[in-house]
Amino acid sequence: MRWGVLPLVPALVSVAYGQELESSPFHADPASIGVGKASFRLRCSACHGIHAEGGRGPALNRGEFEAGETDLDIYRVIARGVPGTEMPAFGQRSTEENIWRIVSFLRTFEASADDIVEGDPARGEDIFWNRGGCGGCHRVGQRGGVFGPSLTRIGRSRSVAHLRESLLNPGGDLPPDYYVVRVVTRQGKTVRGIGLGFDDFSAQLMDAAGKFRSFLREEVQAIEREFVSLMPDTYGETLAEDEQRDLIAYMQTLRGEGGQR
């Protein structure tokens, strides 16, 4: 199969020279890695950072990846995207060859010991589930709420800097499709939740109890979108610095379906 644009075939495995590719053919090729770096900065850095340090998207400079461990896992994520997230499919926008070059570039990173916060994970776990109240909205494994994003694998995908920023300033970098819907009923009751749909006639949201709710504009006083985070921005005041470190240290241990690796 010649190099070309990836067809939209769900079970496709990239093939070149008559063999299935399980790893990038451009490992240790400086020229190809340089092209991959340039392509990454052009297409990926807006979400993943200019140095792959993360931002709106996961950090990719840590030598490990949320979606899998192999080159083929990384290739598939880039080519097919991740449904339900902001990660688009690049299979129709780029050649197989260029995607493999991006994979080779990402493989040049190694995990850094400097990206480990000094804290007590056990104490941080207690803060997460009790005093901090994080489990009321966030799920770890099979435990916790569904109002906020799952944190089951957060330690694999986010840097210490991102975890700290998200804790202290949760509204600092909201995804463009993330918003809060605020509804005022005819009785004057205010209902707020994560927006699931919004148009000129109605709005849908998930409230803090995880319940889906739908409202028609003609049946309420007001419906508004608010581009703010529902996560409290007071942890910098309610948690001491050592407690913040402990909480982040715990979140760094969250690396798999069972919560901790």
Q: pLDDT tens digit string along 243-256? A: 999 999 999 999 87
pLDDT for 257: 55
d(CA 96, CA 26): 12
On whether the pTM is more than 0.85, the answer is no
Whether residue 260 is predicted with pLDDT greater than 60 in this model: the reply is no
Q: Among 204, 200, 212, which Cα is nearest to 183's?
A: 204
pLDDT for 111: 62
Give the mean model confidence (pLDDT) for residues 48-66. Answer: 83
d(CA 47, CA 88): 11
Whether residue 177 is predicted with pLDDT greater than 80 in this model: the reply is no
d(CA 66, CA 75): 13
For the chain, list the domains and their CATH numbers: 15-111 (1.10.760.10), 114-170+232-260 (1.10.760.10), 180-226 (2.30.30.100)
Q: Among 74, 75, 56, 57, which Cα is nearest to 65's?
A: 74
Q: pLDDT tens digit string along 99-139? A: 999 999 999 987 665 577 889 999 999 999 999 999 999 99
pLDDT for 5: 40
d(CA 74, CA 221): 48
Whether residue 84 is predicted with pLDDT greater than 80 in this model: the reply is no
Whether residue 54 is predicted with pLDDT greater than 60 in this model: the reply is yes
Query: Any alpha helices (H) in the chain, and if so which ranges?
Result: 30-43, 45-48, 71-80, 96-106, 121-129, 154-157, 160-168, 235-238, 241-252
pLDDT for 113: 53
Q: Among 40, 55, 60, which Cα is nearest to 86's?
A: 55
Whether residue 155 is predicted with pLDDT greater than 80 in this model: the reply is yes
What percentage of the chain carries pLDDT values higher than 70? 88
d(CA 205, CA 238): 29
Higher pLDDT among residues 9 and 254, named by residue = 254
Tell me what percent of the chain is helix, strand and coil, each rounded to the nearest 5.
35, 20, 50
pLDDT for 112: 60
Would you tell me the crossing angle of helices 96-106 and 30-43 to the nearest 10 degrees? Answer: 100
